[in-house]
Amino acid sequence: FHLASLAEAAGDLQTQFLEGDKEYDDILELNQFDGLPYSSRFYKLLKERKELPVWKAKCEFMDTLAKEQFVVVSGSAKTGRSSQIPQWCAEFCLSVQFQHGMVVCTQIHAQQAVDLALRVADEMDVNIGHEVGYNIPLESCCTTDTVLRCDPLLAHYGVVVVDQAHQRTVATDVLLGLLKDIVLQRPELRVVLLTAFPPSPKHLAHFTGSAARLIHLETLGAGEVVYSSTGDGYFCSALRLVLEIHRSREQGDVIVFLVTTQEIDLAHNILCHERKSLPIDLGELLPIAVHPGQPGSLPVLGEEETSQTRQVFLTQICYKESCRSTKPCSVFWILLAPSCFMVPSVELRPEATQCYMKFQHPEGDHFTLINIYKAFKQYCNIEKWCQDFYLDHNALLTADGIRSELTDTLKRIELPISVPAFGSRSNTVNIKRALLAGFFMQVARDVDGSGNYFIITHKHVAQIHPLSGYGAKSPKLDLPEWVLFHEHSFSEDNCLRTVTHITPQE
């Protein structure tokens, strides 16, 4: 790396960005990151992004990034710092042809890293896992160009963005300590700290020996959701927003995606407490905790109750599929819902197993779930039918609701929705390819032909769960060599659940 070339590029950058956002007023037809034409959604999001408070500081930030090793950006939530700053850092690295490396942005929670990567990829109009990726424990969504590597000097990165630096975790403090030493050996490396509030001068001087450049973003006016400095900012802001929506008297239910099951339960308790103090004329606020993968008991409201009650669904969601994929996603809403299989008593299990076999599909459990959902819709969502077949009526209702939400999302972002052709070979192959695109890290191989499946990523050996269509085979003959699984219950029974046969050709 040559500092002289960086200084020359910094001068060009300074001239380029002194004119503010002029480059976006006459934006090129092709995306500078992937060379493809911009979608209509990009221009819509760009207009919204320009309204964020952080955009007023873009010129100052880019100028500082070109000249200084350390940049500190402070501002409350909703200023856009977490989503916009990494994109601008990518533009900075692109301007010098990535000769000093790529951009890495740290997050405290794994789900936050996934969510931020999805949002940034959407706004940059690129594919998740390609130009923008993420790497969290036991899951990586990167290519060889974006993968995070174990590198003591971070030689693969030109800019390191430390988000939520005000939250003093052990991992954050260790990282900042390492960066302090690394920048002495890599003068071309840039470090950007994003905080909710300005750090003390002593804290800033800890890194460079002198006060680092601080850019303070404008705070939002009254009535907006403001970041809390207690360490639970996004959590508190989400609940505050729910209450504001309810007070606004706008129609419609609300769904809140949280990081952990503990947050779901805590949010449920808080909203149950807060609703007691709300005016009666606003109508009832009904918090509902939905834990993915666990049987739930969703309330069924009458028509009159529905018009007077706002339901708030508190749940988790894990995005596994590229937002720009046009492949069918007909099974994903079932996987996001709680399990539709009831847990009968010991004496009723043989009867329940016989019921489940009526829906069994030769291609695997994912297709069996589709058969169950099709039958559920065919019988008009009747609860009695579910009871007769030992199926959870509430779980299937949840799956139906999630399907509607995903369909609306696909329409909103202008993605084509293919009409399902159940029973055709091409439809089966397309569904398998869609599953592989989303769950490509969850693949296992039968290493000895007796049902001992070696999980490619975990390096563990597991068996197929007995309730699976394959797990019921005894002796274990004609088992598929390669399978894709949805869940590995390692700590419970070391079994693979929801399994489908795949082949290298697919």
Q: How far are the Cα atoms of 247, 267, 314 from residue 262, in angstroms, in the given order? A: 26, 9, 11
**What's the pLDDT at 477?**
57
Q: Which two tokens stand for residue 377?
A: 């819709």
Helix (H) or strand (E) holding 335: helix 332-336
Smallest CA-to-CA distance from 151 within 185, 107, 195 is with: 185
Report pLDDT for 11. 46
Which pLDDT score is estimated for 219? 60
For residues 293 and 318, give the distance between their C-alpha atoms in angstroms, rounded to a whole number: 12
Contact 368, 471 (CB under 8 A): no
Cβ-contact 327, 335 below 8 angstroms: no
- d(CA 114, CA 120) in angstroms, rounded, equals 10
Which residues of 102-177 form beta strands (DSSP E)? 102-106, 134-136, 139-141, 157-162
- Whole-Å CA distances, 201 to 209, 214, 292: 11, 10, 45
Across the 506 residues of the chain, what is the mean pLDDT of every consecutive 10-residue run?
38 45 55 87 91 92 91 84 92 86 85 85 87 80 54 74 78 82 87 82 66 74 36 68 82 79 83 87 88 57 62 70 39 65 84 88 88 88 89 86 78 70 77 82 87 83 84 64 85 82 82
Q: What is the pLDDT of residue 251?
A: 79
Q: Please provide residue 389's backbone torsions phi and psi, each rounded to the nearest 5 degrees.
A: -105, 15
Rounded CA separation 413/415 (Å): 6
DSSP assignment of 183-246? HHH-TT-EEEEEESSPPPHHHHHHHHSSPPEEEEPPPP-TTS----TTS-HHHHHHHHHHHHHH
What whole-number distance in Å separates Cα of residue 281 and Cα of residue 301?
19
**Pair of tokens at residue 54:** 């952080």
For residue 320, what pLDDT is reported?
38
Round to whole Å and give the CA distance between 495 and 456. Answer: 15
As a dihedral over the C-alpha atoms of residue 442, residue 443, residue 446, residue 452, rounded to 10 degrees, the angle is -10
Domains and CATH numbers, the chain: 3-216 (3.40.50.300), 233-315 (3.40.50.300), 332-437 (no CATH), 441-502 (no CATH)
Q: According to the model, what pLDDT value does residue 90 have? A: 92
What predicted TM-score, i.e. pTM, was given to this entire model?
0.44
